[in-house]
Homo-oligomer: A and B are copies of this chain.
Amino acid sequence: MSDEAFVTLVASDNYVLGGLTLAYSLRETNTQRKLVCLVTHKVSQTIRDRLAAAFDEVVAVSELNSNDSVNLDLLCRPELGITFTKLFIWKLTQYKKTVFLDADTLVLKNVDELFDREEFSAAPDVGWPDCFNSGVFVCVPNLDTFHELVELSENTGSFDGGDQGLLNEYFCDWSTKDIHKHLPFVFNLNANATYFYAPAYKRYGKDAKIVHFIGAAKPWMHARDANGVLHADNAEHLVEHLDLWWACHDRHVQDINLPQSFYPEEYVPSASAGRQQFSTQWYGGVASHSSSHSTQPPASGFAAIEAKLNEAMGGKREYKQASPTTGAQNSGGKVPAAGLSEELESKVVLKKKPEESA
């Protein structure tokens, strides 16, 4: 399968941690495909060398930028103009077929079956589901397609200022022509789905294969404390997926010893640190619970989210006992593969609500 590859884009140092963790999450699924990373001039040679240790191929490309500040401001994501660089995947003609994965995705299970799909296959976007989300897609490298996309970007532009608006304009029959080009949502699971439609997540979330951390705050931007404990203020519904991402990072990326500047500042715990507090708001209303860290360490991934859902529903608690917390950010402690373990060590601690700080 040397003529098929998973491809991602690291357009700046801001996405290096994402790209590396994505690569190792793919390795953990024993993929039989090549791993390719596109990089721009903004990524230093030192970092390219680190990426080369994780990917089979690191390909330098020039930066493509929509420079569409108007639509990007409307999207409130001014940084997304450079995602046009993603178009270079169509120039990788040494591969018969490629699967693009955004650097803010995490692979939980083997997804080599994606190469059975045709161009252009993608999953629906939750914001406007007649559009596909361009964080995960199947395509066939072809220079004509590349030039047509570049021409479209120059003549028509992108309705959202990023690659997604442009690609939806080009592959405009995606929503109406061929159901087989609709990837199941679990191949590009918006990490916020736990919030938008909790019962559906409870029903189908166990089949999640690729989780996509959509939004401005990426996993590597959420601070951890000196004990490696994640503090995900205002992202409580993401904590279990964030924990899976950090667990994969800790297994493979932290040993690379990237400069500390690549990481958020260490979180300084408040007086409430060490006590566990969940507060989960579901779409359409609120359901919340709290539990004592000393008595209710959470399980990982779907198991813990399901347990929290059950608890929010008044059902029985199904947390599995986790091992004691040890993992400082740079410790080498190994934990089981992301998405496969019920015993994954918990590093999730949310700050107590103010009214509970007394």
Q: Chain A: residues with CB nearer than 8 A to chain B?
A: 70-71, 73-77, 123-131, 159-161, 165, 175-179, 182, 184-186, 193, 196-204, 215-216, 282-287, 309, 312-315
User: Are B126 and A127 in touch, CB under 8 angstroms?
Assistant: yes
User: Are A128 and B179 in touch, CB under 8 angstroms?
Assistant: no
User: Are A77 and B200 in touch, CB under 8 angstroms?
Assistant: no
**When chains A and B are docked, how far (Å) is the Cα of A204 from the Cα of B129?**
12
Inter-chain pairs besides A127-B197, A127-B283, A160-B197, 4 sampled, C-beta below 8 Å: A70-B313, A71-B313, A128-B196, A179-B182
A260 vs chain B, min Cβ distance (A): 28
- Given the known inter-chain contacts A127-B196, A313-B70, please indicate yes or no for A178 contacting B179, CB distance below 8 A: yes
User: Are A200 and B127 in touch, CB under 8 angstroms?
Assistant: yes
Across the interface, which residues of B come within 8 angstroms of A202, CB to CB?
Answer: 74, 159
A13 vs chain B, min Cβ distance (A): 22
Residue from A74, A125, A283, A287 whose CB has the most chain B CB atoms within 10 Å: A74
**When chains A and B are docked, how far (Å) is the Cα of A127 from the Cα of B161?**
24
A92 vs chain B, min Cβ distance (A): 28
Residue from A129, A161, A200, A215 whose CB has the most chain B CB atoms within 10 Å: A129
Choice from B77, B185, B199 contacting A71 with Cβ under 8 Å: B199
> From A203, which residue of chain B is reached at the shortest CB distance?
B159
Across the interface, which residues of B come within 8 angstroms of A165, CB to CB?
Answer: 199-200, 203
27 contacts between A and B (CB under 8 A): A70-B313, A70-B315, A71-B199, A73-B287, A74-B313, A75-B282, A75-B284, A75-B285, A76-B282, A76-B284, A76-B285, A76-B286, A77-B284, A125-B197, A125-B200, A126-B126, A126-B196, A127-B193, A128-B196, A129-B129, A131-B197, A159-B202, A159-B203, A165-B199, A175-B184, A177-B179, A179-B182
**When chains A and B are docked, how far (Å) is the Cα of A187 from the Cα of B88?**
36
**When chains A and B are docked, how far (Å) is the Cα of A223 from the Cα of B12?**
49
User: Are B284 and A185 in touch, CB under 8 angstroms?
Assistant: no
A30 vs chain B, min Cβ distance (A): 26
**When chains A and B are docked, how far (Å) is the Cα of A160 from the Cα of B178?**
29
Choice from B125, B204, B216, B285 contacting A130 with Cβ under 8 Å: B204
Across the interface, which residues of B come within 8 angstroms of A196, CB to CB?
Answer: 126-128
**When chains A and B are docked, how far (Å) is the Cα of A127 from the Cα of B197?**
5
Closest 7 CB pairs of A and B: A76-B285, A127-B197, A128-B200, A160-B199, A124-B129, A127-B196, A129-B129
Across the interface, which residues of B come within 8 angstroms of A178, CB to CB?
Answer: 179
**When chains A and B are docked, how far (Å) is the Cα of A161 from the Cα of B282?**
15
Across the interface, which residues of B come within 8 angstroms of A159, CB to CB?
Answer: 199-200, 202-203
A58 vs chain B, min Cβ distance (A): 30
Across the interface, which residues of B come within 8 angstroms of A312, CB to CB?
Answer: 73-74
**When chains A and B are docked, how far (Å) is the Cα of A71 from the Cα of B199?**
7
Across the interface, which residues of B come within 8 angstroms of A198, CB to CB?
Answer: 74-75
Across the interface, which residues of B come within 8 angstroms of A124, CB to CB?
Answer: 124, 129-130
Choice from B74, B130, B315 contacting A287 with Cβ under 8 Å: B74
User: Are A309 and B74 in touch, CB under 8 angstroms?
Assistant: yes
Across the interface, which residues of B come within 8 angstroms of A71, CB to CB?
Answer: 199, 313
